[in-house]
Amino acid sequence: MWNVSRRVRLLVTSIALVLVPAIALASSGGSFYLPLGVPQQTYAGLMIKVETDWAQGYGYRPVRLELIATQPSRDDRSLTVEVALNEQSNRSVISSTELRLPAGSRNAVQWVPVPQLANDQTLSVRTFAGGRHIEDLSTERFSIGSGQFWPADSGIPRTLFVSDSPPDISGFKFFGSQPYMPYGNVAFGQPKDVATFVHLKAADLFDESIYYSALDMVFMSRSEAESLSSRSPKVWQAINSWVRSGGTLVLLGVNLDDASLAAVEPLVKATASEQQSAKPLRSWMTPQRDVYLQKVLPAVDAAQQAANEAREQVLAQALSEGVVPPPSVSDPEADDETKRNDAEKAAAKGPADASAVPFAWRPVGMGYVVAWRDPKPFPGEELNWRWLMASLPESCTRWALRHGATPDEENPQFNELLIADVGLPPIQTYKVLITFFVVLIGPVNYWLLRRYERLHLFLFTVPLAALIATGGLLGYALMADGLESRLRSRSLTILDQRAARAVSSARLSYYVGFTPATGLAFPRETVVTPLELEPAYYLAGNARRRIDWDSEQHLTRGWLPARTPMQLVTDRAYHSQRTLELFAAQSGGNAQVTNNLGVHIHKLIVCDDVGELYSAAGVPVANNGPLKALSTDEDKTEARLEFLKVFDQHAPAIPLGMDPYGAQRTWRWFGMGRAYYGGLQQVGLAKTGLEARLDELRSIIAAGELRPRSYVAIVDRPTEVSVGMDDVTESQSTHVIHGTW
C-alpha cells in the first residue's frame, strides 16, 4: 500500500515539474477590517479598514488606514494606531500615527510607512483612545504574506508596474528560475502572482518618496510620466526623488534619438550639459553586444540545462520506482531546442545593429532612468529583459547591495566604522586594576589586620573593598567613555545645480552616554535603515523599536541604547539651492570660487567648462577663495595626492587592538549587547552602498578623469545630512559633495 502511494506521488511530482514547472507565490499584502469578522457592536461605532498590498522586501511598506464611523460623528474623534510588521521572533519597528475623524464625517484615511526589517509575514495593529487600549480595533500577527518563505534579497527586483491594466509579465519568468529559489520556479503571469511585484494605476500613486523606498524598479509609459508631471506634480516629484535616491525608472515608448531623449530629460530633472548633448544620443548609454553574448545567452543555456537536469532526475527516480510517465512528460527537449534556436537567431541580428537596441539609460543622482523603445513591451522578448538586467549595475536590482545594509542578517562591516576610544571595554586597564585589588584585598589586607590584631574585621573589609573596587571600575568606564553623545559619520551628497536637486547618502555611527529622551528626528522623506553586526533579537515584545509619524519621523524608542554602539544608514533626496560658483581670473590674478554650499570646504578639485583642473583648500562658508590652476603634471599629481590624503584619512577600518578573526565575545550593558569580536572575516565595503560610490569617486580623482563642469569637495557635515539630534560631538568623519553645474 505504501509503495503504490509513493509511486502515485512520484508520478504527480514528475508531471508537475515538467508540465507545470512553476508555482505561484502570490503578491504580498492584503486587507481586512477591525474588529475582525462581522461584529455585532464596535467601539463607539467605529471600524478600521487596513490595506497592506505592496512589494515584499526591505524598506518601508505603505499601509492604508481608514477610520469608518457607522454614523456621522458629532464630535472630532482621534485614535492613536500602532502598526508593525513582525517576523517569527516578533522583532519589528512599531509605526505610530494619529487617525482623526472630523465632526460630521463618516470616514478618514491615513497612510503610514511601516519599516520592513525582514521577511515579514504578519501584521499587528494596536489602537488606543486617550491612552486606553481598544482591543476591538486591534489584532496581533495577521498574516499578510504569500504563505511561502521569500528571501528578502533573492535577486528578483522589487518592481512597480504603472498602467491602466495589469501587464503580462511572463517575459520575466527567468527571474523565477534562479538556482537559489527555495521552492523551485515561480509563476509569472500578472504582478499579483509574485510577492515582489505590484501593479498600480497612475491615479493611485503616492505623493511621498518614502512609500517607494522598498522598490528597485518602476515601469511606466512616457505618456503616463508626462501626464503625472503636469497633472500630479507632487506624485511625479516623489518618483523623481526616489530615482535620485537609487531607484531605476523604465520609461516605455521612447524613441532612441536625440530629440526624444532631450524631451525625456526635463521630466527627470536631468538636462544634459553642452558637452553631453554634443555626443551621440546625448551621452545616454546603450547596451553592448558583448554583454548579450557573454552574459545573456550563457544564462539562457544554463537555465535550460538546469531545468533539463531536474526533469531527468525526477523521471529517472519515477522509472526506478516502476512509474511510467506519460509520453508528453518523457521528452521535454523540443521546447528547449526551439528556445535555443530563437536565442541564436536573436544573437545573430538584434545586438549587432546598434541602431536597433531596445533601450538606453543614463544616471540620475544615485539612480538610473531607462528609455525603452517599445511602447507596448509586455510580455516582450525574454532575451531583451535579460539584456536590460545584465547591462544595469547589479545594485539596481539588489536593495541590500544598493543601501549597504541587511537589517535581518549579519553585517561584518559594522566593526569598520566604530568610534575610536569609546565603546570597547578597557581590558588592559581592568587587568591592572583587578590585579592591584587582589593584592590589596588579600595579602596586604591580611598582613595589616594581623599586625593590629583585628583579623575579625576581615568579614567587613573584604566586601567593603569589593564594593569600592567595583564602583571604581564602573566609574572609570563611565568617565573613560564620557557621558556625551558621540558620532562618526560618512556621507556623499550628489548636487545637481542645474536641476536644483540633491541626494545625500550617509552612514552614521553613534555612541551615547545616555539614551536621548526624545530619540532621533529625521525628515519624513529620509529612508532610515539600522545597520547591525548581528540582528538585535533582544528588541522583541515591549522593547521593540518605535517610530512616531507626523511632519517628521521620530525614532523614539529602541534605536540608541546607552553605551552601546549603533549604526544607521540614511538616504534622502531633496530640493537644494546650494551652489559653488567659479569666476575666471581677472588681470592676471587667480581664478576665484564662491562657497555657497552652506558648509566649510576643506579640499576642493574643480574641472571647468573646457576641462581645465583647479584646486582650493580652506574655503569658508559664503566666502570667496582662490583657485589654483593645475597646469602641469606635477601640479595635478600633487593636488590629487593632497586631496586623497584627506579623503582617506578616516576610511573604514577595524580599530587597533580589535581582532576581527578572534573568538566571539559580547559586552553587555544592562542586557543590551553587541558582539564586538565575532569570528567573522573582515569584509570590505567597496561593493556595497555608499562605499561603492565613494570608491568610484576616489578612482575618478586618482585618475584625473573629473568631467567638465563638475567638482568634488571634502567638507564639514552638510546641514541636509541629518543625524537626528543636535547635541552631538562628531569626530573621525568624512563628508563629500560631488557637484555639477
pLDDT digits (tens, 9 = 90+) for 58-109: 999 999 999 999 888 788 999 999 999 887 666 788 999 999 999 989 999 9
pTM assigned to the model: 0.84
Residue 627 pLDDT grade (very low, low, confident, very high; cuts 50, 70, 90)? very high
pLDDT, mean of residues 156-167? 95
Question: Is 490 found in the same domain as 463?
Answer: no
In a domain, 276, yes or no: no
Question: Is 668 found in the same domain as 546?
Answer: yes
- Whether 161 shows a pLDDT value over 50: the answer reads yes
Residue 38 sits in a domain whose CATH number is 2.60.40.10
* DSSP string for residues in 663-710: --EEEEETTEEEEEE-S------TTSHHHHHHHHHHHHHHHT-PPTTE
Q: State which residues form the domain around 435.
A: 427-481
In a domain, 321, yes or no: no
Question: Is 546 found in the same domain as 446?
Answer: no
In a domain, 263, yes or no: no
* Mean pLDDT for the chain overall: 82
Task: Tell which of 449, 464, 481 closes a domain.
Answer: 481
Number of domains in the chain: 3
In a domain, 19, yes or no: no
Q: How many CB atoms lie within 10 A of CB 703?
A: 9
Residue 270, C-alpha cell as written in the block: 536631468
Task: Tell which of 127, 145, 163 closes a domain.
Answer: 145
Residue 179, C-alpha cell as written in the block: 538556482
The SS3 of residue 151 is coil
Question: Is 541 found in the same domain as 501?
Answer: yes
What was the pLDDT predicted at 276? Answer: 85
What was the pLDDT predicted at 355? Answer: 61
In a domain, 137, yes or no: yes
C-alpha distances in Å from residue 570, one per residue of 363, 416, 501, 515, 516? 20, 17, 17, 20, 19
59: left (phi over 0), alpha (psi -120 to 50) or beta: left
- Interval 336-377: pLDDT, tens: 455 555 555 554 444 445 567 999 999 999 999 999 999 999
- CA 601, distance to chain mean position in Å, is 29
What was the pLDDT predicted at 683? Answer: 35
145-149, 231-235, 389-393, 617-621: least confident range: 145-149
Contact predicate 65/106, CB 8 Å: no
Q: Which residues contact 431 (CB under 8 A, 6 or more apart)?
A: none
pLDDT, mean of residues 466-481? 75
Question: Is 537 found in the same domain as 436?
Answer: no
Question: Is 498 found in the same domain as 460?
Answer: no
- Whether 146 shows a pLDDT value over 70: the answer reads no
Question: Is 118 found in the same domain as 78?
Answer: yes
pLDDT, mean of residues 325-346? 48
Q: Cα(663)–Cα(538) distance, rounded to whole angstroms?
A: 21
Residue type, 634: E
Question: Is 42 found in the same domain as 134?
Answer: yes
Q: Cα(97)–Cα(547) distance, rounded to whole angstroms?
A: 9
Q: Cα(156)–Cα(176) distance, rounded to whole angstroms?
A: 8
Question: Is 549 found in the same domain as 473?
Answer: no
- Select, from the ranges 111-125, 183-197, 520-534, the one with the highest average predicted confidence (pLDDT): 520-534
- Select, from the ranges 328-337, 362-371, 463-472, 684-693, the one with the highest average predicted confidence (pLDDT): 362-371
Task: Tell which of 94, 119, 145 closes a domain.
Answer: 145
Question: Is 681 found in the same domain as 716?
Answer: yes
More confident residue, 484 or 731: 731
- Whether 207 shows a pLDDT value over 70: the answer reads yes
Paired residues of 142 in beta bridges: 123
Question: Is 116 found in the same domain as 36?
Answer: yes
Residue 333 pLDDT grade (very low, low, confident, very high; cuts 50, 70, 90)? very low
Question: Is 658 found in the same domain as 525?
Answer: yes
Reported in sequence order, the residue ranges of 264-388 that DSSP labels E, i.e. its strands, are 359-364, 367-372
pLDDT, mean of residues 647-660? 80
Residue 671 pLDDT grade (very low, low, confident, very high; cuts 50, 70, 90)? very low
Paired residues of 364 in beta bridges: 367
